[in-house]
Amino acid sequence: MHTGMRQGPEIWLRGPVTTPEPGPPEPGHAHAGARRFSWVGTHGGAGVSTLAAVYGGHDSGRSWPGPGDPPSVLLVARTHATGLDTVAGAVEIFRRGQAPPGLDLDAIVLVADAPGRLPRPLARRVKSLESVIDVYRVPWMPSWRLGEPGRPPRETEPLARLTGAAR
């Protein structure tokens, strides 16, 4: 059906957008429970299991969350070129509406692939991702290589707040 209206450009919004459902007002003393997430790795070795152990949530490995898993997705990738390629491809799947129905892409979590600063070409690619979706960065953690996940690193306080792991 043609309505005579012009279609404008596609608009990207950062972060999840939800429409509140009408219902009874919540009492002033009620507190919402911590939101649960499904960690989804976009490539092998992304760090999904470690992130789920440190921050909580469902470890989906490299698979989409199943029917009983939290539908809020955090895509995980390393900061090397291959990791940034795969996570950009996964974001595109959500953008085109090809992700399984009912899943919501909440953010990307990039795990450092080495200590130190990112090379400029990789840093530019991260900036490009940040222009379309929230990106949380996790620094290189030597203790995680030894299988000692411990508490969330101080530099990841925003991610800890998002996942409810802040203490």
Q: Torsion angle of alpha carbons 37, 60, 155, 105, nearest 10°?
A: -50
Hunting for tokens 């003393």 — which residue is that?
A: 29
Q: What is the pLDDT of residues 24-36, one digit of tens each?
A: 444 433 334 557 8
Domain ranges of the chain: 38-163
**Phi, psi values for residue 156, rounded to 5°:** -105, 25
Say how many C-beta atoms besides its own lie within 10 A of residue 56's C-beta.
Answer: 16
Contact in structure between 76 and 48 (CB atoms under 8 Å):
yes
Q: What is the pLDDT of residues 46-62, one digit of tens each?
A: 999 999 999 999 999 99
Q: What is the pLDDT of residues 120-147, one digit of tens each?
A: 999 999 999 999 999 999 999 998 888 8
